């Protein structure tokens, strides 16, 4: 199973990077497979640690994709890093090993700290639809235009039926971003 999260890593200069990431988890082991090249990949190689932020607000995924990463953070407890203040929970991990791959190496990480911040308020389908649109946004260069447009039209149904004000705002931001990327294609 893949769990959609926001991963925060730092580089050797202490600069924080946030990236939406689908991780795989097996008890106290988390697998992270960043694409080559990426900041997350470089940071995992250099610092051998990361923070996995579990968040139920789609706006964080959208803001990562469009480059608006001015988030409220707090210092991590077990590693040199930061977690999102608004996360429901976060895990702090250390890299145990790396399985090399030409496209997406896999980092096997050990959870060294688990922190619960807020109660889970329930699932909103519009949140899921916006996150799916974010995944489409990262694949604009790989997918056909008609495929992307069809997917967006289908996702729009959930947004129209279930979205609150924040989900609608995020939906419009990611949809506009995708439309602009399609024009460049």
pTM greater than 0.85 (yes/no): yes
Task: Give the phi and the psi of residue 9 in degrees, each rounded to 5.
Answer: -135, 165
Q: How is residue 176 written in tokens?
A: 């506009």
- Domain containing residue 169: CATH number: 1.20.58
CB burial of residue 26 (10 Å; 0-12, 13-18, 19+): exposed
- Same-domain pairing of 71 and 162: no
- Same-domain pairing of 139 and 103: no
- Same-domain pairing of 106 and 163: no
- Domain containing residue 67: CATH number: 2.30.110.10
- Same-domain pairing of 135 and 79: no
How do residues 84-131 score in pLDDT, each as one tens digit?
Answer: 999 999 999 999 999 999 999 999 999 999 999 999 999 899 999 999
In tens digits, what is the pLDDT along the chain, a chain of 185 residues?
Answer: 999 999 999 999 999 999 999 999 999 999 999 999 999 999 999 999 999 999 999 999 999 999 999 999 999 999 999 999 999 999 999 999 999 999 999 999 999 999 999 999 998 999 999 999 999 999 999 999 999 999 999 999 999 999 999 999 999 999 999 999 999 97
- Same-domain pairing of 38 and 101: yes
Total count of domains within the chain: 2
């Amino acid at each position: 199973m893949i769990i959609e999260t926001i991963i925060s890593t730092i580089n050797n200069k202490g600069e924080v990077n946030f990236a939406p990431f689908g991780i795989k988890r097996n008890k106290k082991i988390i697998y992270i497979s960043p694409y080559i090249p990426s900041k997350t990949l470089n940071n995992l190689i250099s610092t051998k640690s990361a923070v996995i932020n579990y968040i139920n607000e789609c706006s964080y995924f959208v803001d990562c994709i469009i480059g608006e990463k001015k988030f409220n953070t707090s210092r991590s407890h077990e590693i040199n890093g930061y977690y999102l203040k608004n996360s429901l929970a976060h895990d702090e991990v250390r890299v145990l090993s790396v399985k090399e791959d030409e496209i997406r190496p896999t980092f096997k990480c050990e959870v060294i700290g688990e922190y619960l911040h807020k109660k889970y308020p329930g699932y909103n389908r519009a949140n899921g639809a916006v996150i799916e649109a974010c995944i489409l946004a990262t694949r604009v260069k790989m997918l056909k235009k008609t495929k992307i447009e069809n997917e967006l039209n289908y996702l729009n149904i959930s947004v129209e039926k279930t979205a609150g004000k924040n989900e609608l705002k995020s939906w419009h931001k990611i949809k506009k971003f995708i439309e602009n990327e399609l024009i460049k294609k």
